[in-house]
Chain A
Amino acid sequence: MGYPVVKGVSYIIAHVPDLVRYGSKPAREIAKDPALLEKINASLRSFDQAKNYPPHQAFIGNIKPEALWDLERPWFEHLLADSPRESAWGEIMPEDEFYGLLKIVDVFDLIDLTSEFTAIVKPKLENHKLIHAADLENLGDGVSRETVAQKIKAGALPLMLGPELVGCIQDGHDEDHNLTADILLENLACKASGVLAMRRALHSLNFDPAAIDFVMNTGEEAVGDRYQRGAGNLAKAMAESTGCYNSTGVDIKAFCCSPVHTMILAGGLIHSGVHDHIMVVGGGCLAKLGMKMKGHLANAMPIMEDVLAAFAVILGPDDGRNPQIRLDLIGKHAVSTGSSQQAIYEALVKKPLERFGLAIPEIDKYSTELHNPEITEPAGSGNVPKNNYRMIAGLAVMQGQLKREEIDTFELKYGMPGYSPTQGHVPSAVPYLGHAREAILKGELERVMFLGKGSLFLGKMTNLSDGMSFIIEKNKGQ
């Protein structure tokens, strides 16, 4: 039996402009200056603007990331008019439907939606191919506006749709700081977006959810209570809401590096025979909404972090067709690696390739941190993928595998522009997995390396960062 395969990948985006205020940065800034909320609201994108935004179309798979090289920038001013909401792998969901989905996956009645809003959104969800009768039962018929107003008066967070109050979310406990409404909203947003991605992955492959043995969640939300903060297993909750009844699950925590860690772990569990089919999922991160809004407002741009993004990957045993994860070509940033960029890239790129006598240019594409530069540059964070490609190119020059004058063009040949929403773990290499699988199946690419990094030091337990890499390649059984 060969190495495990990537059977399918999905990507979804939920456009949630009225949740931007609950992102960590906006919430802190609005508390200091309540007038800021008005400025934020005046700088939000419409659904069509978010849907037609070229990087979002690349994220859900309707255009190749490399096509962005040819599109005029700024992309937010050069939209792809009338772009489809759906793709073969995913979709971009508007805010009203996402509120409905939040309610559908809320099994503790934390969320109340008004009956007026519910009456409007229910028919839309009825027409959604991934929403079922049981979901509509969970959605219910809503409550009165007075009930919502009373709950907000008692401390619940309002859910707005533009200027309209359409619902609220309340605390899960009177005294537990881990079960406050804002934290529960973060957790539910991760759950709902992850569930949507999982359902998309299953639907696009016509895959029976009951055939999934195990779900592994890579999201960064610390689901838990006062006695076990971040205790987790949102994966199992997602499995339940996706109909993966024969599955249990686990959350893998490694900051933004979690998706790459988890892909490798999932591959290992399948290869060793512990599990047959595994779903790897990463739900959206509400805390990161509006994270770089100051830079966007200062540059008279729309607030670009107005979307939640999520992905799901179905992995299975070698089927002789789909691209395989080379479990013998894993790169890792060990404790002893140190923190210099050269040492990190040697550990993640050079060492695994060297073991098999491969040179850096023998990998067709490198998928690294794929943050959209249009989001990061106005905030002074630079072009993250471009910098990463320069580091890999520099390493290749040092190895005598690339000419110095080729450093500037390395990105064009072996890389891609950043196009992922800045959702922490989501941009960390995995956005290209769907494109890579498709290109390998078409014979356009042979091998692709995915390398992700994680900022462990943010948790104040170590000064170390983290990093992992893996390679997928064409299945020789074809």
Chain B
Amino acid sequence: MFKGKKVLCIGERDGIPGSAIAECIKTAGGEPVLQLTQCYV
């Protein structure tokens, strides 16, 4: 479902980090154009 898609990967410190989301997106054929991890507290 991500093949050929550009994806913004926004992760969370207490959840899934942005870098992990980006790796999954790459595996699924997508192109991470932004990857960052945020702190929501």
**A10 in the interface, Cβ–Cβ < 8 Å?**
no
B41's contact among A339, A341, A376, A465, by CB below 8 Å, is which? A376
- Complex CA gap A340/B12 in Å reads 11
Cβ-defined partner of B17 (8 Å) among A339, A382, A422:
A339
Mask for B7-21, Cβ within 8 A of A = 1, else 0?
A: 000000111111110
Q: Check A339 against B19 for contact (C-beta < 8 Å).
A: yes
Rounded to whole angstroms, the CA-CA distance of A376 and B12 in the bound complex is: 14
Binding site for A on B (CB under 8 A): 13-20, 36-41
CA of A333 to CA of B27, assembled, Å: 27
Is the Cβ of B17 less than 8 Å from the Cβ of A369?
no
Residue of B whose beta carbon sits closest to that of A466:
B13
A453 engages B20 (CB within 8 Å) = no
List the A side residues contacting B17 at CB < 8 Å.
339-340, 463, 465
List residues 31-72 of chain A with CB under 8 A from any CB of chain B.
none
Partner of A384, one of B14, B16, B19, B38: B14
A379 contacts across to B, CB distance below 8 A? 40
Q: Who on chain A is nearest to B11 by CB?
A: A339
Q: Is A371 an interface residue (CB 8 A)?
A: yes
B14 touches A341 (CB 8 A): yes
7 smallest CB-CB distances across A and B, nearest first, come from A455-B39, A381-B40, A339-B17, A371-B41, A455-B13, A465-B13, A457-B37
- The number of chain A residues touching the other chain, given as a range, is 20 to 34
Q: Determine the distance from Cα of A406 to Cα of B36 in the docked complex, in whole angstroms.
A: 34
Decide if A322 is an interface residue (CB 8 Å cutoff): no
Question: Chain A contacts of B41 at CB under 8 A?
Answer: 256, 369, 371, 376, 381, 384, 422, 427
CB distance from B35 to the nearest CB of A (A): 8
If over half of B's interface residues share one DSSP class (helix, strand or loop), that class is named, otherwise mixed; here it is loop
Question: In chain A, residues 361-381, which have Cβ atoms closer than 8 Å to a Cβ of chain B?
Answer: 369, 371, 376, 379-381
How far apart sit A231 and B17, CA to CA, in the bound complex (Å)?
30
- Flag A328-364 by CB within 8 Å of B: 1 or 0 each: 0000000000011100000000000000000000000
With a CB–CB cut-off of 8 A, which chain A residues contact B19? 339, 463
Q: Indicate if the CB atoms of B40 and A339 lie closer than 8 Å.
A: no
Q: What is the CA–CA distance of A455 and B19 in the complex, to the nearest angstrom?
A: 14
Q: Is the CB of B14 within 8 A of A369?
A: yes
A440 to B40, CA, bound (A): 33
Nearest to B35 among chain A residues (CB) is A463
The smallest C-beta distance from B13 to any residue of chain A, in angstroms, reads: 5
Interchain CB contact under 8 A, A453 and B40 = no
> Can you name 10 A-B residue pairings with CB atoms under 8 Å?
A339-B17, A341-B14, A379-B40, A382-B40, A384-B41, A455-B38, A457-B37, A458-B39, A463-B17, A465-B17
* Chain A contacts for B18, CB-based, 8 A: 463
Tell me the minimal C-beta distance from A12 to chain B in angstroms: 21
- The CA-CA distance from A463 to B41 in the complex, in Å, is 17
Q: Which of A416-472 contact B (CB under 8 A)?
A: 422, 427, 453, 455, 457-458, 463, 465
Q: Is residue A193 within 8 Å, beta carbon to beta carbon, of the partner chain?
A: no
How close is B36's CB to chain A, nearest CB, in angstroms? 8
- Assess A376 versus B40: contact at CB under 8 Å? Given A339-B19, A339-B20, A463-B19: yes
Residue A272 lies at the interface, judged by CB distance under 8 Å to chain B? no
Additional A-B contacts beyond A340-B17, A369-B14, A388-B14 (15; CB < 8 A): A256-B41, A339-B20, A339-B37, A340-B20, A341-B14, A341-B15, A369-B41, A371-B41, A379-B40, A381-B40, A387-B14, A427-B41, A457-B13, A457-B36, A463-B18
- Mask, A286-324, CB within 8 Å of B = 1, is 000000000000000000000000000000000000000
